[in-house]
Structure 1
Amino acid sequence: MTETLVVQKERLWDRAGAARGVGTAIGILALTRLGQLLMIWWLGSATAEPRSVWDRLLVWDAGWFLRVAVDGYPHGYTYDANGVLQGNELAFFPVYPILIRFGAAIGLPASTAAVLIAWAASIGAAVALHLLGTSLYDKRAGWALVAICCSAPASVVLSMAYSESIFLALVAGMFVAAHRRVWWAAGLLGLLTALSRPTGAAAALGLAVAALIAVWSLWRSERRIAWPPIAAAAVALAGVPLFIGWVAWRVGDLDAWFKIQTAGWGTTFDYGTSTWDFLNTTLRTGDGWVSISIAIILLAALAAAGVALAQKPWLPLAVYGVVAMILVYGQAGFYHSKPRLLLPVLLTLLPAVVAASKARPRVAILSIAAWAAFGLWYGAYLVTVWPYTL
C-alpha cells in the first residue's frame, strides 16, 4: 500500500511538471498579486483618503482576526450601551488567528505576521490548485485553475489579512490528497479546513463522499472495509461542530455562535430569500454599478456551476461545491461579501478551466489575461474606492 501511494505521488508530481511546473504555478500567482497590488496603489492614490497599500490589506475582517490573535477570544456575549447583542470575535474560526499568534511569538508585529501568513498561504494555494487541476485533468488545467482562481473578482482577499488564502490552500490540498487516496493527509487537511471557515463543513462533506467511494470500491473488489478513508472523513466532519460546540460551552448557550453571527453580520440561513430579494431589487432598479455587477457575478456563478455539473466533475468536488453554494446563496448577510465567499468553491471555475486546457495556448492565455485584467482591477477597486467591507 505504501509503495502504491509513493508511486501515485511521484506520478502526480511528474504530471504537474515537477519543480518547473509548480514553479510556473507560483509565478502565475506572483503576477496576479503584484499586478493587483500595483492597481491598489494606483487607484488608492487618487482617492480622497490616501492610505498606504499595506494599510488597505489590513482593513475590515483583518481587525477581528488580529484581536483574536493578540487578545484571545472573549468569554461571553458582547452588548452595546443599550444592552443590544453585538457581534464579537467568537464568530471567527481559529486556524488563522493561531498562526498569527505564532508569528507574533517569534517577534513579528501581529499585523505583519497576518499579511505574511496570508501571502505564504496563497503560495500554498497556488501549488495545491495546480496539483488538483493536474490530478483531475492535466498540467494545463492545473495552471489554468491557478490563473483563473487567483485573478477572480474577489481574489484581492488572497493578498489581505483574511482567511481565504489559508482556506483555499487547505481545501485544495485536502482534495488532492483524497483524489490520490492519501487518507492521513486528507483527514488532517480536512480538519484544518473545517477549523478555518464555516464552509469547511461543506468541504468535509466532500471528503466524506470521497471516502465512501473508496470504501465502496474496496468492498466490491475485496469484500473488506477500508478504515483510513472512514477515519479521515470522521476527523474532518468533526471540525465545524467542535468549534461551534466550544463557543457554546464558552458562552454557556447552545446556539451562541449562530446568535453572534446574526447580531454582528446579519448572517442567518433564510433559504435564499434575502439573496433573491437582492437580485430582484438590484436588477430592476439598477442601484449602483457595483451592486449590479455583484448580482451578475452571482447569476454567472450559478450558470457556471450548472455547466460544471453537466460536465460530470469528480463527485466529491461537486458535492462540496453545491453545498458551499447553498450556504452562500441560502444565507442572509452582506451581499457584497458573497463573491468573496464563492472564491474557494472551485466548482464554478471548472468550465473555464476545462475550456482553457483544451484551447490553443494563445487563445487560452489571451482569454485568461482578459479575465484577470477585469478581476484584478475589480478587487482593487473594492478595497480602495468602494466604501464597504468585503
Structure 2
Amino acid sequence: MAGPATVIYAATTTLHLLVLSAMIRPDGPSLTDRLTAWDGRRFVQIAQYGYPHGMAGAADGSNLAFFPLFPELIRIVHAASGLSWAVSGIVAAQLSLAAALIVLHVLLTRLYDRRTATIATMLLAGAQPMSLVFFMAYSESLFLALTAGALLAAHRRAWLTAGALTALAGLTRPAGVAVALALAVAVALHARERRRLPGRAVAGLALGCTGVPLFIGWVGLRTGRLDGWFVIQNAGWGTAWDYGHQYLTDLVGTLEGSNEFMAVCTAVATLALLVLSAAAFRRGTWPPLLAYGAGILVLSLGQSNYFQCKLRLLILALIFLLPPARALARADNRTLVTAAVPATLFGCWFGAFMLTTWHYGI
C-alpha cells in the first residue's frame, strides 16, 4: 500500500523543489527562506522560543494564534538531528507529508480501489494549486497526516486510536473541529448498525473532542481572558465568524471586474473546489469523509480573513479530489498521463510563482 504513495512523495518533492529553485532569483532569499516564509517563521519561532505571555503584540498577530503540535514536532526534529531551526521546520513538514500520503492512500484504497487512491494522492501532492504548502514549514502536512490517520482508524473501528489522533489534529489546527465532526458521524453510523452505543466509541469521541478546546482554553489562561485566542485572531488577521459574508463580498467584487491576478485565481479556484466538492456528495461516498470535508468548507469560507488565503485553507477538505480521481481511474493510461502530467506541472509552477513572485498567496 505504501509503495505508490512513497513514489508520489519522492517525485512531487523533487519536482516542487526543482521548479521553486529555478524561479528563485540568485540575489533573492534562499530556498530555505522561501520554504519557511510567512507562517513558517511563526512556527519556527514558537519551537525555538515558546509562546509569549499575555496579550502583548496581539494587534500585530500574536504567535498564540498558532496551535502547538507542529512547533513541538520541529523541536523534536531539531533535538534529534542537530539541524538548524529553519531546516528542522522543513524536515518536520516533509516527514509529516510522507506519512500523510501513505495513510491517505491506505484510506482511499479501503474506500475505493488502489488506482483511485493513487490518482487522488498524486492530485493532492502535485496538481492542486496549493500543493507547495505541504512541502513548506506549515502545519497543513501534519494536520493531514493526523486527519487521514483518524479517518482510517474510524473506518477500522479502532475508536480509541481514532479519538487520540483526532485530539492531536485539534492541537495542530483549529480545523480539528471538522475531524471531530467526522468521528461523531462515524460513531453514529456504528451505533445505528449495532443498535447500541459501544463504550469504546463513546470514549474515543469524547477524547477526540478535547484538542481544540484544550488549546483555546490554555490561551485563555495565558492571556488572562477566556476569549483571548479569538481576540488575537481578529486583531491580527481579521478572522471572525461572519457566515461567509466577507468571502462572498470579495468573490463578487473580484468576478465583477478585478484585475488583480491572485484575486482572480483565488475566485476561480475556490469556485472550482466547491463544485468538485459538491460533486462528491453522491451515493457511495463514506459519510464521515463527507462530514469532514463539509466541515472544512464551512470553517474556511464562513470566517472573515484574507481572501487570498481561502484556497490554502480549502485544500484540506480532500473531498474535491474524489470526482476527478474517480473519473481518471476509469480512463485509460494514455488519458491519465495526458491529464495528470500538465496538471502536476501547473500545480508546481503556480505554488512557486506565489512564493517567489506574488508573495501574498500562501
Aligned residue in 2 for 1:320: 292
Q: Check conservation: 1:266, 1:332, Cα contact below 8 A.
A: yes
1:56 and 2:34 matched: yes
Q: Name the counterpart of 1:89.
A: 63
Conserved in 1, the CA contact under 8 Å of 2:191 and 2:198? yes
Deviates more, 1:282-291 or 1:271-280: 282-291
Amino acid across the alignment from 1:337? C
**1:351-362 pair list within 5 angstroms:** 351-362=323-334
Corresponding residue for residue 176 of structure 2: 200
**What is the aligned partner in structure 2 of residue 13 from structure 1?**
none
How do 1:90-239 residues align onto structure 2 when only pairs under 5 Å count?
Answer: 90-106=64-80, 107-151=82-126, 152-219=128-195, 224-239=196-211
Q: Quick check: 2:44–2:71 contact (8 Å CA) kept in 1?
A: yes
Q: Deviations over 1:95-124 (max 9, x none)?
A: 101111122333332112111110011100
Shift of 1:389: 5.1
Alpha-carbon distance between aligned partners in 1 of 2:205 and 2:259, rounded to the nearest angstrom? 44
Q: For 2:316 and 2:192, how far apart are their aligned partners in 1?
A: 28
Aligned to 2:335: 363
Structure 2 residue matching 1:85: 3-state secondary structure: helix
- Provide the rounded CA distance (Å) in 2 between the counterparts of 1:78 and 1:389: 27
User: 1:20-45 deviations in whole A, cap 9, x for unaligned?
Assistant: xx122111122112111111111113
Residue pair 2:68, 2:171 contacting (<8 A) in 1 also: yes
Point out the structure with max Rg over C-alpha.
1
- Following superposition, the deviation at residue 367 of structure 1 comes to 1.4
Q: Which amino acid aligns with 2:313?
A: L
Q: Name the residue aligned to 1:8.
A: none
Q: How many residues align?
A: 360
Where does the alignment leave 5 or more consecutive residues of structure 2 unmatched? none
Kindly indicate whether the alpha-carbon contact (under 8 Å) linking 1:60 and 1:389 is maintained by their aligned counterparts in 2: no
Shift of 1:388: 1.6
Describe how 1:12-51 pairs up with structure 2 within 5 A: 16=1, 22-45=2-25, 50-51=28-29
Q: CA deviation at 1:370?
A: 2.2
Displacement of 1:286 after TM fit?
2.5
Residue 312 of structure 1: how far off its partner (Å) = 4.5
Matched, 1:245 2:225: no
Identify which of 70, 73, 91 aligns with 2:48: 70
Residue 256 of structure 2 is matched in structure 1 by: 284
CA drift at 1:311 = 4.5
- Mapped to 1, the partners of 2:192 and 2:110 lie a distance apart of 21
Instruction: Give the superposition deviation at 1:368.
Output: 1.8
- Contact in 2 for aligned 1:304/1:349 (Cα 8 Å): yes
Give yes or no for contact 2:32–2:86 (8 Å, CA) kept in 1.
no
In structure 2, C-alpha distance between the alignment counterparts of 1:359 and 1:269, rounded to whole Å:
42
Distance 1:85 1:56 in 2: 25
Cα pair 2:119 2:329 within 8 Å, conserved: yes
RMSD across aligned positions (CA)? 1.5
Q: Distance in 2 between matches of 1:187 and 1:199?
A: 15
151-160 or 305-314, which moves further after superposition?
305-314
Cα pair 1:25 1:130 within 8 Å, conserved: yes
**Residue of structure 2 in register with 1:334 after alignment:** 306
Structure 1 residue 252, shift from structure 2 partner: 1.3
**Amino acid aligned to 2:38:** W
Q: Return 106-115 or 169-178, whichever deviates more.
A: 106-115
Question: What are the ranges of 5 or more consecutive residues in structure 1 without an aligned counterpart?
Answer: 1-15, 17-21
> Which letter does structure 1 place at the counterpart of 2:165?
L
User: Between the two proteins, what is the percent identity of the paired residues?
Assistant: 39
TM-score computed with the length of structure 1 as normaliser: 0.89
Letter in 1 for 2:183: L
